[in-house]
């Protein structure tokens, strides 16, 4: 069965798109470590935890053949003869050029001086392009000061950055669990010698049904994905089982149950 990553509908093997929401279904591949069926875009095997990313990069690099360019050694290339260069341009004597400039200066008539402006008779207004004199102020009145613009100050404390903080809300004890924003993968489980849990559920009631390495939450930008990593009692999202090797995009309000019976339940919340 192929589970739709959008609506979790179970489709028959070989289906191309979901029967319920018509979402394109992922293709299946075989784990090179244990032979289990996993999605072709899965990063880890849900049965044995094998890293599938190295296998994908190695297979893509091995499919590119080496290209070698060979040329026959009996081909002769003819090199054409070079064209002769043009002769250098002979410049004229500098002294002759100076004589020509001097003769041109003698032959050019002197420039005529502009006529002097005649004084305008009385009664004719002055030209408009003259700048008028500023009005005289009374001797006893001081000039009014020029107002100085008041600088506008902005408080840097008024601007604050708001960071969206995601969390898991434990339903049985009404306890919020903050998700660290600086990590790209969060491990859900109980203390063990293999993979220490980022979210430890050992202190919650009925934690015995939760595996030590139960599920992971992967963070890509501001998107969170949930995936089961081969737990004993399974992982459920909105009462639907999440098959190992598949991942579900978490949205605000999604109900996550670790194990059967809805005994260890979290609500995904994002700010």
Domains of the chain: 1-59 (no CATH), 166-270 (2.60.200.20)
Helix (H, G, I), strand (E, B) or coil at 190: coil
The tokens describing 20, both together, are: 């319920």
Give me the tens of pLDDT residue by residue for the chain, a chain 271 residues long: 677 777 877 777 767 777 777 777 777 777 887 877 777 777 777 777 777 776 655 454 444 444 554 545 555 666 766 666 666 665 555 455 555 555 555 555 556 565 565 555 555 555 555 555 555 555 555 556 666 656 555 444 443 444 457 999 999 999 999 999 889 999 999 999 989 999 999 999 999 999 999 999 999 999 999 999 989 999 999 999 999 989 999 999 999 999 998 999 999 998 6
The candidate with the shortest Cα–Cα distance to 25, out of 8, 45, 46, 5, is 5
Looking at residue 160, its pLDDT comes to: 41
For residues 46 and 41, give the distance between their C-alpha atoms in angstroms, rounded to a whole number.
13
Per-residue tokens: 108: 């050019």
DSSP code at position 168 = E
Q: Which residues contact 29 (CB under 8 A, 6 or more apart)?
A: 37, 38, 39, 40, 42, 52
Specify the DSSP element, H or E, that contains 169.
strand 166-170
Please give the Cα distance from 265 to 253 (Å, whole number).
12
Question: Looking up tokens 């090797």, which residue turns up?
Answer: 245
CA atoms within 13 A on the CB side of 179: 30
Work out the number of other CB atoms within 10 angstroms of the CB of residue 243.
21
- Roughly how many angstroms between the first and final C-alpha of the chain, as a whole number? 35
Which pLDDT does position 213 carry in this prediction? 93
Q: How much helix, strand and coil, in percent to the nearest 5, is found in the chain?
A: 10, 25, 65
Q: Are the C-beta atoms of 195 and 210 separated by less than 8 Å? A: no
* Per-residue pLDDT at 6: 79
């Amino acid at each position: 069965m192929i589970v739709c990553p959008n609506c979790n509908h179970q489709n028959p093997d070989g289906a191309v798109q979901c029967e319920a929401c018509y979402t394109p279904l992922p293709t299946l591949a075989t784990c090179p470590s244990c032979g289990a069926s996993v999605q072709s875009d899965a990063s880890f095997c849900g049965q044995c935890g094998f890293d599938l990313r190295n296998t994908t990069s190695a297979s893509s690099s091995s499919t590119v053949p080496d290209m070698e360019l060979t040329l026959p050694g009996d081909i002769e290339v003819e090199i054409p003869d070079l064209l002769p260069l043009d002769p250098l341009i002979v410049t004229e004597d500098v002294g002759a050029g100076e004589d020509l400039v001097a003769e041109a200066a003698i032959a050019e008539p002197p420039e005529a001086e502009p006529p002097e402006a005649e004084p305008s008779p009385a009664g004719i207004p002055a030209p408009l392009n003259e700048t008028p004199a500023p009005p005289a102020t009374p001797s006893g009145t001081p000039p009014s000061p020029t107002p100085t613009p008041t600088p506008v100050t902005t408080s840097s404390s008024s601007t604050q950055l708001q960071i969206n903080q995601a969390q898991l809300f434990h339903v049985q004890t009404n306890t919020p669990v903050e998700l660290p924003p600086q990590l790209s993968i969060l491990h859900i489980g109980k203390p063990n010698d293999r993979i220490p849990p980022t979210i430890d559920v050992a202190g919650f009631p009925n934690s015995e049904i939760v595996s030590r390495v139960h599920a992971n939450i992967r963070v890509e930008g501001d998107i969170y994905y949930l995936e089961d990593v081969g737990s004993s009692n399974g992982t459920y999202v909105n009462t639907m089982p999440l098959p190992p090797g598949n991942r579900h995009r978490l949205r605000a309000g999604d109900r996550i149950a670790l194990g059967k019976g809805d005994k260890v339940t979290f609500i995904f919340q994002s700010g």
